[in-house]
Structure 1
Amino acid sequence: MSGPGAQAPDASRPADTVRRILDPGSRPHPYALYDQVRAAEPVWMDGAHPVVVFASHAACASVLRDPRASNDRRHALMYGCQGPGSGAGAEAGGDESAGGAVDAATPRAELPSFLFADPPRHTVLRRLVAPDFTRDAARRLTGMIKDLVDDLIDDMAEQFARGAALDAVGALASPLPVTVICHVLGIDTGERGWYRTRSSLLGRAVDPYPAFVGAPAPGAAERERAEAELTAFFTELAHARRAEPKDDVMSRLLAARPDGRPLSDTEVVTTCRLLLNAGHETTVNLIAGGLHVLLLRPKTLAALREAPSTAGQLVEELLRFEAPLQIVHRHAREDMEVLGTRIRRGTTMVLLLGGANRDAEVFSCPHHLRTERAEAGRHLSFGLGAHYCLGAPLGRLEAELAFVRFAQRVVEPRLAVEEPPFRPHVVLRGPETVPVHAARVLGRDLPWGR
């Protein structure tokens, strides 16, 4: 097992089964572990602070909907909250607008944005940016996204023509969402590789090493540098937008007066950094993982080619089957119960969404891809409740268009390796590369049919 503080697992102990999720060897196929955790839940970890793990759909959904389950790390003993009766937690000092004070034990690259805040502050900040991520806002980008997908597939054609394998992550799954979120934020799309590299580094900050082994995820120094560089970038951009506002998200945040006062620089910068990171990370994994699944199932890909109108249903099943966001944390802001399990204030609850999405109590034959599955929409990949994914409509649209056009234009695609390597990320799980061969690429004048 990798990571500081890791110990040799004992498969007979549920807590050690949970720790095996951190093992890079488990990344391609974590679902058997999730099944074991679900069968044993609640699984209490035996570290210095109270941590409980759930993998059933019922438990995960219950926690996600419960307002006592907080995203604010000030409520977690694991991150320095002093626990019941201490006056810590929501009363802690610090800059509430930035999500609250964070104990020194919290890695610097994990300082909170509104993602790690609770209502009412979370609601205020989310409401300011929500108009740019509605279903209607996403639909208005359809033409731009179609053109971008076709441009990227055009670039793939030459390499396929030489008979060379092409990485579908680097060629399509990664540049598409990064370019789209840069467009939404009004930032330079020419630097998408720079944004992607730093965002990927920051993505490891949410991996559950602190909960499972009591130590940060590997690579804290690199994450700190990536955070500093992105923060400097958005700080400089904020100065430019103050001097010359534009029709973009940052300019609107700088002009906002949600409670009669302007947002702090910290709020503006961390919000834009969050939107950049969260606005493409899960979509990259959705498209990369989806392409991997479809390439293993040529009949499903052919069916999509024949009926592009089924793309929405396919994306819902892929979200269930290969959740791009596998795990989330919540912290008990007060004593609570989860399906009969007593959870004390300060406890961190780790929810294995990838496991909940394959719970046989909700999904028939959960380990099989079924594109006509009636219950696919019950997946938890975008969460539930107040923190339901803001960018869900945009992510769905990008994935639908990417899969449809790949199916239509790329002729006889096939995997160039038996099993592609996976990213080291535990939470933001997806293939690192998806090497593909293809016979040829059809022209972009082909009707979309969608």
Structure 2
Amino acid sequence: MNEPVQSVASDPLFNPLAPDFIRNPYPHYDRLRAIDPIHVTPFGQFVASRHAEVSLVMRDKRFGKDFVERTSRRYGPDIMKEPVFRSMAHWMLQADPPDHTRLRGLVVKAFTARRVEDMRPRIQEIVDQTIDTVIGRGQMDLIEDFAFRLPVTIICEMLGIPEDHREVFYKSSREGGRLLDPVPMTPEEIAKANAATTMAQMYFQQLFELRRKSPGDDLISQLVQAEEDGNKLTNEELTANIILLFGAGHETTVNLIGNGLLALHRNPDQLALLKARPDLMTGAIEEFLRYDSSVQMTGRVALEEIDDLGGKTIPKGETVLCLLGSANHDPAVYPDHPERLDIARPNVRPLSFGGGIHFCLGAQLARIEAEIAIATLLRRLPDLRIDDVENPEWRPTFVLRGLRRLPASW
């Protein structure tokens, strides 16, 4: 009986790209919270796994992003010459005030509660069309044929990507997630990411020209206008943030829908409850976000020395990785079996959308997309079965947690 325990004890506490970790990170998080809640990785990063420290770091102004400095420390001084890192340096997600404030201020209007709420009928229409396309086949991949099409269509419409350009976006690979992982990328991975970034930059530059000549009621038209109204936005910033919004606008929602459907089918009692009581859907979405978050981690840099974070001193300039998925399972906040899916769980406030000034712009849009997608699927395909709930194929990335495919039939 002792053998497995010893091998577990000698494993590194935090090895996020290990297949076992990607398959199910939650037992690893339990160990981290219990044994070493502010853990230091071999790369010298601090890893916060408890809810208290994670929520503090995301909201505390003594922490920031400091992207260029942090990335240069990790990869060497020449790294910012690589197109992918140069582009990421302009992302509002990686920016600190005042740049962050300016960039976010330009796009926030597209994501107001009112605007997002008004999109419900269109979201419903896309979900119904998607199901109409496959319903006669009796089978589909819930990721590619279902979860993927809705958020990609919505973000394309919001950005003003013309309909006849979209096929390439539906078929585009979902390889970008590796950029965000806390394990350094290989030169091959960087080269691949550079190529993808350059392609995206070329495409969006042409689209900006199109929208300058014929503006529409879309986000790119607004941003192109802002760029001309006194240079609030450089061309590089414009391109980088559109790439960010395109990725962020679908990646996480695809994963939320996929992870939520898998969780329901792994817990037939909860699936039956939700079918019987569709009024529980809004709370169920919060529980899916908590139970198996599409985003497992976010990071901050100490802008000054922090003398006591969970008992450790964080020197100025050091990175703290905040494990959102672990914080969402912390028994200090969710005392009633956090490892269980409970769609009627009270007071669920997951940290899955981050916190502080970088709180996810599209949080409400993602919630509504997932709510309508899952509710419509349960209603229209009540006897849908997932082919293999035990061994689904996860994507080999850690920060963006999601399935590569999820075949189902009815």
Could you tell me the TM-score, scaled by structure 2's length?
0.91
* CA spacing shift, 1:305–1:216, aligned 2, 3 Å: same
Change beyond 3 A, Cα 1:286–1:190: farther
Q: Which among 300, 315, 319 is matched to residue 285 of structure 2? A: 315
* Residue number among 362, 365, 374 corresponding to 1:391 in the alignment: 362
Q: Judge conservation of contact 2:267–2:341 (CA < 8 Å) in 1.
A: no
Tell me, yes or no, if structure 1 residue 80 matches structure 2 residue 73: yes
* Residues 1:188 and 2:162 are matched in the alignment: yes
3-state SS, counterpart of residue 27 of structure 1: helix
CA displacement at 1:388 relative to structure 2:
0.2
Counterpart of 2:324 (choices 345, 350, 353) is: 353
| 1:257 Cα deviation after fit | 6.1
User: Matched residues in 2 for 1:295 and 1:217: separation?
Assistant: 39
Residues 255 and 262 in structure 1, CA contact (< 8 A), matched pair in contact too? no
| Unaligned stretches of 5+ residues in structure 2 | 1-5
Greater percentage in helix: 2
Aligned partners of 1:206 and 1:217: how far apart in 2?
15
The answer for the alignment partner of 1:286 in structure 2 is: 256
Residue 375 of structure 1 is aligned with which of 322, 347, 350? Answer: 347
Deviation at 1:35, TM superposition (A): 1.2
- One-letter amino acid matched to 1:18: F
Structure 2 match to 1:237:
207
Q: Does 1:295 find its partner at 2:288?
A: no
Once the 2 structures are TM-superposed, how far is the Cα of residue 189 of structure 1 from its aligned partner? 4.2
Which of 361, 384, 394 in structure 2 is aligned with 1:422? 394
Corresponding residue number in structure 2 for 1:109:
84
> Once the 2 structures are TM-superposed, how far is the Cα of residue 272 of structure 1 from its aligned partner?
1.0
Deviation at 1:24, TM superposition (A): 2.3
**Contact 2:83–2:198 at 8 Å: present in 1 too?**
no
Change (3 A) 1:276 1:312: same
CA-to-aligned-CA distance 1:186-233 (integer Å, 9 cap, x gap)? 1134544533565722221001103xxxx5497322211111111111
Counterparts of 1:43-442 in structure 2, within 5 Å, are 43-47=39-43, 50-76=44-70, 79-80=72-73, 103-105=77-79, 108-110=83-85, 111-112=88-89, 113-160=91-138, 165-192=139-166, 194-195=168-169, 198=172, 200-210=174-184, 215-216=185-186, 219-256=189-226, 260-337=230-307, 338-364=309-335, 365-377=337-349, 379-417=350-388, 418-438=390-410
Bigger CA drift: 386-395 or 269-278? 269-278
The code of the aligned residue for 1:41 comes to: P
Query: Contact 1:198–1:227 at 8 Å: present in 2 too?
Result: no
* CA distance, structure 1, for counterparts of residue 190 and residue 227 of structure 2: 35
- Partner deviation per Cα, 1:329-368 (whole Å, 9 max, x = no partner): 1111221242442111110111111111101111121100
Letter in 1 for 2:238: V
> SS of the counterpart of 2:394?
coil
Q: Which amino acid aligns with 1:62?
A: L
Quick check: 290-299 or 178-187, which moved more? 290-299
Identity rate of aligned residues, in percent? 35
For the pair 1:12 / 2:9, whether they are aligned, the reply is: yes
Give yes or no for contact 1:202–1:227 (8 Å, CA) kept in 2: no
Q: Distance in 2 between matches of 1:257 and 1:184?
A: 18
Q: Offset at 1:269?
A: 0.9
SS at match of 1:280: helix
Query: Which residue identity does 1:45 align to in structure 2?
Result: T
Mapped partners of 2:13, 2:148: distance in 1: 32
Give every structure 1 segment of 4 or more consecutive aligned residues whose post-TM-superposition deviation is greater than 4 Å. 189-193, 196-199, 215-218, 257-260
The equivalent of 2:23 in structure 1 is: 28
Alignment partners' CA distance in 2, 1:192 and 1:259? 29
Aligned equivalents of 1:108, 1:257: Cα separation in 2: 22
8 Å CA contact 2:51, 2:327 repeated in 1: yes
